[in-house]
Amino acid sequence: MTVRLGDVTFSDWVSLEYEGGFTDTFIFDIDALNGLPPFGYRPLLQRLVAELNLKRPGASFWIRVASPGEWYLMEVKRSMTRGLSIPYVVTTKDKTPDYRSFSFGPRLFSSSFPPPKVDDEISHISCEELKCLQVLARIRKGTDNEIASLAGLPETITYEVLQELQKKKMVIFKLGEVIQKDKSKPKIMDPYPMWHPRRSGVSIALRSWGASEGVDFSGVKELNPDKICTPHRNISRIWISWLRAAYPRAEIWTGWSETKLPGIAFYPDALAWGRIQGHETLFWLEVGDDHKKRKFIEAITKKRVKASIKFSRRTGARLIYAQLSPDWVQDAGMCQ
């Protein structure tokens, strides 16, 4: 039940009964398999909290995470260590919080009234269509196999889904312009056509992530868009499908290409998350650059390996680190 408050929407609302009264609690749902890494929600949550402070004094905030494992949930919690200005709690989707679970005691009322309901804008979109739209909204444009890999769908089904979305005018297959860092340079066209999301498709993806109209959620997009269409970027995007093929007995739940990591100076070319041999595991990919000077490559490779180990230890998840590069580059990173 989506509810509206001013200019923003929430996944739901509930009045929790505790000793002494009832809460006025707004709910924000996060699906770990929605195409977004767990690190980028804070700006959106702060925007929602600002609206609650303005329009609903005394309200509390309940963030529910649907996740096949614990790592994603814990990263969402970790991103909230600086706290919010209202009582909040982060739980799994199926767990109801007790009063002491909130960051501080939520205000209790003798009664509370629900906010108005609004139509769910994504109810007419299939699960497969939504996954493709979510991927495209983050990566900006991509090929069939890249979208299939990031969406966790077979390529044949992905192509059929994209064709249907094109009929609905939510995506378009076209030759687009290269996204350049230097905007003053002459325009260059991409070397081949790709799938692009239309405005309506991006809107659906944003609503599925809980971003209301006017909320800036651009920080979740794939980094370095000027590298789109390069072999380096293509490898980063199809990393997840390679993993699923290489580890058929493992559970590869999801992953992301070119994403920032909190507290880490380096970011992976791709990061996947799943379970292997009963343990939650992060699969870190680095696509090496063998055309640079040897000393530079050796130094940067060592730093990247150390960064991946630091991140793994901090999160508690196991790590599989992969370096796609000549043998001497791999040796440089492992000889520490």
Per residue in 255-264, pLDDT (tens digit) is: 999 998 988 8
CA angle 317, 321, 327 (to 5 degrees): 165
Examine the domain organization and report whether 91 and 162 are in the same domain: no
6-15, 86-95, 114-123, 209-218: least confident range: 209-218
Out of 172, 192, 217, a domain closes at: 217
Domain end marker among 172, 193, 217: 217
Helix/strand/coil for 171: strand
Domain that holds residue 261: 230-336
Point out the domain boundary residue: 186, 217, 248: 217
Q: Examine the pLDDT at 242 and tell me if it is beyond 70.
A: yes
Q: What is the mean pLDDT of residues 306-314?
A: 91
* pLDDT for res 149: 98
Which amino acid does the sequence have at 328?
Answer: W
Residue 45 has pLDDT above 80, yes or no: yes
**Does residue 326 lie in a domain region?**
yes
- The stretch 22-28 carries a mean pLDDT of 98
* Residue 164 token pair: 């249907």
Residue 1 in this model has a pLDDT that exceeds 60:
yes
- Specify the range with the lowest mean pLDDT, choosing from 20-24, 76-80, 97-101: 76-80
The alpha helices in 209-293, defined as continuous H runs, are 231-246
In terms of domains, do 247 and 325 share one?
Answer: yes
Q: CB-hemisphere CA count at 13 Å for 229?
A: 16
- Residue 311 inside a domain? The answer is yes
Any domain includes 222: no
Q: Is residue 224 part of a domain?
A: no
Q: Are 19 and 34 in contact (CB under 8 A)?
A: no
| Mean pLDDT in residue range 14-25 | 96
Q: Is residue 112 part of a domain?
A: no
Per-residue model confidence (pLDDT) at position 82: 81
Domain contains 251: yes
Q: Could you tell me if 335 and 247 lie in one domain?
A: yes
User: Are 239 and 335 part of one and the same domain?
Assistant: yes
Q: Give 156-160's long-range contacts (Cβ < 8 A, gap of 24+).
A: 157/128, 158/128, 158/132
CATH code for the domain in which residue 263 is found: 3.40.1350
Mean pLDDT of 263-277: 93
When pLDDT is averaged across residues 185-214 and rounded to a whole number, the result is 92
- Provide the pairing of β-strand 25-31 with 21-22: unpaired
Whether 137 and 213 share a structural domain = yes
Q: Are residues 209 and 239 in the same domain?
A: no
Asked if the structure places residue 109 within a domain, the reply is: no
Cα(311)–Cα(11) distance, integer angstroms: 31
- Mean pLDDT for 174-196 is 94
Q: What is the pLDDT of residue 7?
A: 85
pLDDT (tens digit, 9 = 90+) per residue, 134-145?
A: 999 999 999 999
Q: How far apart are CA 143 and CA 195, in angstroms?
A: 6
Residues 6 or more apart in contact with residue 215 via CB below 8 angstroms: 8, 44, 47, 206
Tell whether 174 and 243 lie within a shared domain.
no
- Find the range with the poorest average confidence among 119-123, 177-181, 286-290, 330-334: 330-334
Residue-level pLDDT at 58 = 96
Verify that 289 and 241 share a domain, yes or no.
Answer: yes
**Number of domains forming the structure of the chain:** 3
Judge if 336 and 235 occupy the same domain: yes
pLDDT digits (tens, 9 = 90+) for 54-90: 999 999 999 999 999 999 999 999 988 788 999 999 9
pLDDT for residue 269 is more than 90:
yes
244 and 334 co-located in one domain: yes
Q: Are residues 203 and 234 in the same domain?
A: no
Residue 148 sits in a domain of what CATH number? 1.10.10.10
pLDDT over 70, % of the chain: 95
Beta bridge partners of 27: 12, 62
Alpha-helical segments (H) within 140-281: 144-151, 155-167, 199-208, 231-246
